[in-house]
Amino acid sequence: MKYLSEDTAKQYSPLTLAFLGDSVYEIQVRCALTAEANRPVGSLHSEKIRYVCAAFQARAADFLQDAMNDAELAVYRRGRNAGGTPSKNADPADYRKATGFEAVFGYLYLTGNTERIEMLFGTVWENKECFL
């Protein structure tokens, strides 16, 4: 993949960044769960949905704000304020924060900043019990 400059990535719609970031974050969760143990797929899926949901991501976003740099915070705010339609099970405030959270992961992926993705995700994963 050809990575984008930070300036170019910042021009992307925050919902587009969140669209990509959702899958980037989910693959991190799936890899972490798979690394923990060889379990049945149904068990892995049940565990995954605990971490890939608006409520969990909203709490993680709140926790990560002090760890985000200025560019990441700007992307987060744009994503949080972008709107979109929450699912029927999601609290609208949680949905907005989760969208901002996902936008950050999408932005970092587009700019090729995989080390930063791993650092932010690692912080979330190490503290995951706090967000459940």
91: domain CATH number? 1.10.1520.10
Q: What is the pTM of this model?
A: 0.96
Number of domains in the chain: 1
Question: Does residue 74 form part of some domain?
Answer: yes
22 annotated active-site? yes
* 97 and 16 Cβ atoms separated by less than 8 Å: no
List 7, 22, 66, 70, catalytic entry: 22
Question: Does residue 43 form part of some domain?
Answer: no
Question: Does residue 20 form part of some domain?
Answer: yes
pLDDT category, 1, cuts 50, 70, 90? Answer: confident
Question: Does residue 6 form part of some domain?
Answer: no
Which range of residues forms the domain containing residue 124? 12-25+53-130
Question: Does residue 64 form part of some domain?
Answer: yes
Check residues 89 and 24 and name the one with the higher pLDDT: 24
Report helix, strand and coil shares of the chain as percent, to nearest 5: 75, 0, 25
Question: Does residue 65 form part of some domain?
Answer: yes
Mean pLDDT of 5-20: 97
pLDDT tens sequence across 34-58 = 999 999 999 999 999 999 999 999 9
Question: Does residue 97 form part of some domain?
Answer: yes
